[in-house]
């Protein structure tokens, strides 16, 4: 019993990690378009495909954390391309997600929160934070 607990302890501790994925300087200025079309005045700069670990051994990582980390990586990549806007091209699959990067200038956009289909498990809706990152209210502490 004790040996089993010692083997599982690192997996439990790793389950809450963000794996060191942090926003790069300049990526906080990247807008995310979740729904609708990107305005025609925007210049398409290319596709970005990002990936993170979605599983630790036999365990799936928290879907919201995986999605947040994918968005951070997409924004980091977009900043290095001198883009100011990204849009997901599909849902995450096995820890990987394609995005499109655009240069839009000061164009105004509609809603910046992800659509309900990207809010798994009927979590509370995301709360927009400064810098464009979404956080989700904690469930049960």
95-121 pLDDT, tens digit each = 999 999 999 987 565 555 555 455 555
User: Could you give the CA distance from residue 33 to residue 42 in angstroms, rounded to a whole number?
Assistant: 12
Is the pLDDT at 38 greater than 60? The verdict is: yes
Domain presence at residue 53: yes
In this structure, what token pair is assigned to residue 3? Answer: 């040996």
Say if pTM beats, i.e. exceeds, 0.75: no
The domain of 68 spans 17-107
Q: How do residues 55-111 score in pLDDT, each as one tens digit?
A: 999 999 999 999 999 999 999 999 999 999 999 999 999 999 999 999 998 756 555
Domain presence at residue 1: no
Domain presence at residue 10: no
């Amino acid at each position: 019993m004790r040996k089993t607990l010692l083997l599982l302890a690192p997996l439990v501790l790793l389950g809450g990690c963000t794996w060191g994925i942090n926003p790069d300087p300049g990526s906080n200025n990247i807008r995310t378009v979740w729904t609708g079309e990107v305005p025609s005045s925007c210049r398409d700069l290319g596709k970005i495909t990002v990936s993170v670990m979605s599983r630790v051994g036999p365990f799936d990582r928290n879907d919201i954390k995986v999605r947040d980390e994918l968005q951070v990586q997409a924004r980091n990549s977009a900043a290095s391309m001198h883009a100011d806007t990204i849009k997901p091209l599909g849902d995450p699959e096995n820890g990987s997600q394609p995005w499109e990067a655009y240069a839009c200038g000061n164009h105004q956009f509609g809603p910046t929160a992800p659509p309900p289909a990207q809010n798994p498990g009927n979590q509370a809706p995301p709360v927009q934070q400064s810098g464009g990152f979404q956080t989700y209210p904690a469930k049960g502490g």
